Structure 1
């Protein structure tokens, strides 16, 4: 008697307070942001050669099935990133001003 095939496959795992593509170090948001920016699954797979097209589609399907939860997770991560940026700016104002000046100069040369 042969074993029945597994019908459900897990594409996403939760670890370290984040979501990751199962068995990889690639975050869920890496694929989701590409998808939300209009990239095709094939293009996303090309951008992440360690992922199969199946994993990309699985990640997108997970996002669509859990969109409210993942959108809230992404918003929270963006807020934390902005808070960290603000904190770093406030702690080292001269460095931040130098970086801002360099950025403006680079844009004016383009």
Structure 2
């Protein structure tokens, strides 16, 4: 009896916005890795995101565990991008004086 081991494709794709998602879903690699690192099982993750197939969750976790340094670097880069965007938005939409204006609206004139 002979057995062969076909190469199994990773169910991940890099989308136009340069975000890695599970193919055919909007669920990001970030989401699965963070949830897995919080202690959730593959079954719990698949249950939480109905668009995911359980086998794809397992394959994504295996990919993460086999390529942890690269995935961690990618996640770090995404966190840095998110921080930069947050800072830009905070600067653009500064909330200085908002509390005072809201309180002024409350008080009778």
TM-score range, shorter chain: 0.7 to 0.9
1:44-80: CA deviations, max 9, x gaps?
Answer: 0101111121111000001111111110010011011
CA RMSD of aligned residues (A): 2.2
Task: State how far apart, in whole Å, the 1-side matches of 2:97 and 2:63 are.
Answer: 39
SS in 2 for 1:93: coil
What is the TM-score normalised by the length of structure 2? 0.74
SS in 1 for 2:95: helix
Aligned positions, number: 94
Q: Gaps (5+ residues) in structure 1? A: 99-110
Q: Gaps (5+ residues) in structure 2? A: 100-109
Choose between structure 1 and 2: higher helix proportion.
1
What is the TM-score normalised by the length of structure 1? 0.74
SS in 2 for 1:13: strand
